[in-house]
């Protein structure tokens, strides 16, 4: 390890999400490229950097920073460069030299203790002097606190986060309760706070540490999709993380409940604990669902059967009894659920409901949990659908940590009926936000496939609502959307029933038995790039989507994207590319947006409109990478073109391959999926069924037939711990509802 000291001259690139930075430093008069993770870096700062020298194949020698600390230059030359860097207003290179020539190595003492003497320098008037004093005093406080924090062994990156949050109270907060950082500072979790507390001398058994550890353990609900943890589960998890006895954890549980930070409940004769916001969301969803299921809705004075017949005649279709019942139920009930697999006519029913409601003078709004799901329902119905976030008018919180919505009980949605497609993807928090914005008298029609994977976020909303028995449920089982040659919908139904499907490799449902891992990867690449395009005419990038059950491994999403990029979009002359961490992005790449960004501006290349907002899961092509403008441009499949800054590259990923969860809400002409061994709780029927139902024209499963059979036999992934169903029932039995 080497140590160098210098001044920040220019920040070339910065990733705001992880702090990865490329910057030019003035090191003793030489310009040096430094790379590393800086939480905060400002032009003109003087830092001590510890790390090692490397040689980049394109950019030459650079210093890779491992740790850094704020310092004050001591030599006359260093002080001159420090002052000339622009860190103080009104001081350029000429004035900086004049100051140091006048005061020498005492310059910083003059700034600290006798700043008015700067007026002795030609060019520094009263106004400039006041500006210098104000900025320097603020910087001095920052510098003193930062140096003191780093004396405790805390890295400069976390030290800056602490100072930005607590200002002059930073040291006090650290010494009194460092675990307060978990709640106050984004990015600091229990492990980081615990490491800092340990450096400050806090004991393992300190009450503040145990309280924070329990809270952190309960946060596993978010990772597992649960809304609560049992007491036994929470105590054991907390003990493992904290390294303390169970008695110490149990003694502090009651304190957290008294403080109102977690909620204690009895569920199925078990004592359980909720994170507060998940308890409030689950309880409120149950209350509202119970209320609207019992509310009386004004039924239009119209012959519904006749309206349905008119719809059939106009569309040249014949609905079965279940489909007719679903359309009628939407008119007659305040809330209904329509569930069914692919090809069972859900879209036909949605079209019928929208058509009849329009004839009755009722305003209907279509929505879905994701951008791709909303786009798909827009395409299949011909009626605009919005994401739930957009429908509720997403607003930014001050620090963008959590979404908030302008539509709520005080400003509800103006609609007579709200149809929500892909309802299985809605988590409990989003469902609560939606219900809060539905005013009395508005019908809610939830459409989805209850047998697909549940939401990524906590809860099992659609399943719990169905099983509560409080809501009228229309289950569609008859398959319509298939030609005589199609087996995708038929086999999806068989898989969902736990039966081995009819595999005929002359149909559109193929299973290719491949047991060698290396050969499986090669065969996937060949079928995507050669076999399907040549034999069937499918486009390797636009038509074929590779879906994998896992992220890691030879046929996991990460490696598949790397290998598919190498064959579908290899490096070539006049094709710009850019490294981002371990990934190389290249012009022509198939990419996906992986977070909602409601501020990004787009231009519609089809309708020539302009607007804002792009959504998690949207897919497009990386059109241009501009080193000159430090930007990249993506043309999304719906025609929207967006220009990003380089530091927003963390918002995208390659989309040659994606996980099953990421594929939810979408359909693709062709799906290719590897079937390989893995954790039994992860590789299950629900995941397989979800993947199979993404394919419209052809499905190719490749891998181990034994694993395929085991997935079909595995009826459930690990059950989620939720109590929405029980809460709805309890509220229905409450005469005070």
Binding-site residue numbers are 343-347
User: Within a 13 Å sphere around the CA of 253, how many CA atoms are in the beta-carbon half?
Assistant: 26
Q: Per-residue DSSP letters for 74-107?
A: -SHHHHHHHIIIIISTT--HHHHHHHHHHHGGGH
CA angle 458, 550, 518 (to 5 degrees): 175
Q: Extract the tokens encoding 446.
A: 């939830």
The strand order across the sheet containing 443-448 reads 385-387, 364-368, 417-420, 443-448, 335-340, 472-476
- Cβ atoms 7, 46 nearer than 8 A: yes
Instruction: From 85, 75, 76, select the one nearest 25 (Cα to Cα).
Output: 85
- Cβ atoms 617, 659 nearer than 8 A: no
Q: How many CB atoms lie within 10 A of CB 639?
A: 15
Instruction: From 567, 543, 550, 554, select the one nearest 672 (Cα to Cα).
Output: 543
Q: Which residue has the tokens 């119209």?
A: 302
Compute the distance between CA of residue 599 and CA of residue 614 in angstroms, rounded to an integer: 8
Sign of CA dihedral 381, 384, 387, 388: negative
Compute the distance between CA of residue 634 and CA of residue 644 in angstroms, rounded to an integer: 8
Alpha helices in 417-556 (DSSP H): 428-436, 461-468, 488-496, 517-526, 532-536
Q: H/E element holding 285?
A: helix 276-294
DSSP class of 499 = P
Q: H/E element holding 477?
A: none
Instruction: From 105, 631, 693, 657, select the one nearest 344 (Cα to Cα).
Output: 693
Q: How many CB atoms lie within 10 A of CB 78?
A: 21
Tell me how far apart the terminal alpha carbons of the chain are, to the nearest angstrom: 68
- Cβ atoms 366, 381 nearer than 8 A: yes
Residues 6+ away with beta carbon under 8 Å from 655: 561, 590, 591, 592, 619
Sign of CA dihedral 343, 346, 347, 351: positive
Q: What burial letters (b/e) apply to 565-587, b meaning 16+ CB within 10 Å?
A: beebbeeeeeeeebebeebebbb
Per the annotation, binding residues for ATP are 343-347
Compute the distance between CA of residue 224 and CA of residue 219 in angstroms, rounded to an integer: 9
- Cβ atoms 48, 1 nearer than 8 A: no
- Cβ atoms 660, 691 nearer than 8 A: yes
Q: Determine the number of helices (DSSP H) and then strands (DSSP E) in the chain.
A: 28, 30
């Amino acid at each position: 390890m080497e140590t160098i000291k210098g001044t920040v001259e220019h920040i070339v690139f910065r990733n705001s999400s992880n702090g990865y930075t490329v910057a030019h430093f003035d090191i003793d008069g030489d310009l040096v490229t430094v790379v590393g993770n800086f939480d905060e870096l400002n032009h003109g700062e003087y830092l001590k950097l510890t790390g090692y020298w490397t040689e980049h194949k394109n950019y030459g020698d650079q210093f890779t920073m491992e740790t850094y600390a704020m310092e004050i230059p001591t030599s006359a030359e260093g002080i001159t460069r420090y002052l000339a860097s622009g860190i103080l207003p009104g001081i350029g290179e000429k004035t900086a030299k004049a100051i140091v020539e006048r005061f020498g190595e005492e310059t910083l003492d003059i700034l600290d203790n006798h700043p008015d003497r700067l007026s002795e320098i030609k060019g520094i008037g009263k106004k400039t002097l006041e500006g210098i004093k104000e900025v320097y005093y603020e910087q001095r406080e920052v510098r003193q606190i930062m140096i003191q924090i780093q004396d405790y062994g805390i890295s400069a990156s976390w030290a800056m986060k602490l100072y930005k949050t607590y200002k002059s109270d930073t040291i006090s907060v650290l010494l009194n309760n460092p675990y307060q950082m978990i709640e106050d500072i984004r990015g600091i979790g229990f492990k980081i706070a615990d490491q800092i507390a340990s450096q400050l001398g806090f004991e393992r058994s300190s009450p503040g540490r145990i309280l924070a550890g329990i809270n952190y353990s309960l946060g596993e609900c978010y990772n597992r999709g649960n809304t609560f943890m049992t007491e036994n589960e929470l105590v054991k998890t907390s003990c493992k993380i904290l390294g303390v006895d169970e008695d110490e954890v149990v003694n502090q549980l009651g304190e957290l409940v008294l403080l109102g930070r977690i909620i204690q409940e009895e569920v199925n004769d078990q004592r359980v604990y909720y994170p507060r916001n998940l308890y409030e969301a689950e309880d409120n969803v149950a209350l509202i669902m119970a209320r609207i299921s019992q509310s009386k809705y004004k039924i239009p004075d119209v012959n519904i059967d006749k309206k349905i017949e008119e719809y059939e005649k106009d569309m040249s279709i014949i609905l079965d009894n279940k489909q007719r019942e679903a359309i009628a139920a939407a008119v007659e009930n305040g809330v209904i659920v329509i569930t069914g697999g692919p090809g069972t006519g859900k879209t036909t029913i949605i079209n019928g409901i929208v058509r009849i409601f329009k004839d009755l003078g009722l305003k209907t709004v279509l929505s879905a949990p994701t951008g791709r799901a909303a786009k798909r329902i827009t395409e299949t119905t011909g009626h605009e659908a919005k994401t739930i976030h957009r429908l509720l008018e997403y607003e930014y919180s001050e620090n963008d940590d959590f979404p908030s919505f302008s539509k709520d009980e005080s400003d509800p949605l103006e609609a007579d009926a709200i149809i929500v497609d892909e309802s299985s993807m809605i988590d409990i928090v989003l469902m609560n936000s939606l219900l809060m914005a539905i005013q009395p008298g508005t019908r809610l029609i939830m459409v989805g496939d209850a047998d697909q994977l549940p939401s990524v976020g906590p809860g099992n909303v659609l399943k719990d609502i169905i099983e509560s028995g409080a809501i009228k449920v229309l289950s569609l089982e008859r398959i319509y959307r298939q030609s005589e040659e199609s087996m995708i919908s038929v086999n999806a139904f068989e898989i969902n029933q736990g039966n081995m499907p009819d595999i005929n490799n002359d149909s559109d449902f193929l299973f290719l038995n491949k047991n060698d891992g290396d050969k499986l990867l090669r065969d996937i690449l060949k079928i995507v790039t050669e076999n399907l395009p040549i034999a069937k005419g499918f486009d390797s990038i636009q038509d074929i989507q590779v879906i994998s059950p896992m992220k890691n491994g030879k046929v996991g999403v990460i490696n598949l994207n790397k290998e598919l990029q190498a064959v579908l979009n290899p490096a070539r002359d006049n094709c710009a590319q850019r490294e981002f961490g371990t990934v190389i992005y290249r012009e022509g790449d198939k990419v996906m947006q992986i977070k909602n960004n409601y501020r990004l501006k787009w231009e519609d290349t089809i309708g020539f409109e302009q607007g804002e907002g792009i959504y998690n899961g949207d897919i497009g092509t990386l059109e241009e990478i501009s080193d000159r403008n430090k930007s990249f441009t993506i043309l999304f499949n719906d025609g929207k073109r967006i220009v990003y800054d380089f530091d927003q590259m963390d918002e995208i990923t390659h989309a040659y391959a994606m996980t099953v969860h990421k594929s939810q809400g979408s359909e693709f002409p062709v799906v290719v999926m590897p079937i390989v061994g893995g954790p039994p709780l992860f590789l299950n029927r629900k995941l397989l069924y979800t993947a199979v139902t993404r394919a419209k024209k052809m499905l190719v499963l490749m891998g181990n037939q034994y694993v395929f059979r085991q997935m079909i036999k595995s009826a459930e992934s690990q059950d989620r711990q939720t109590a929405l169903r029980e809460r709805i029932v309890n509220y229905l039995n409450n005469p005070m509802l």
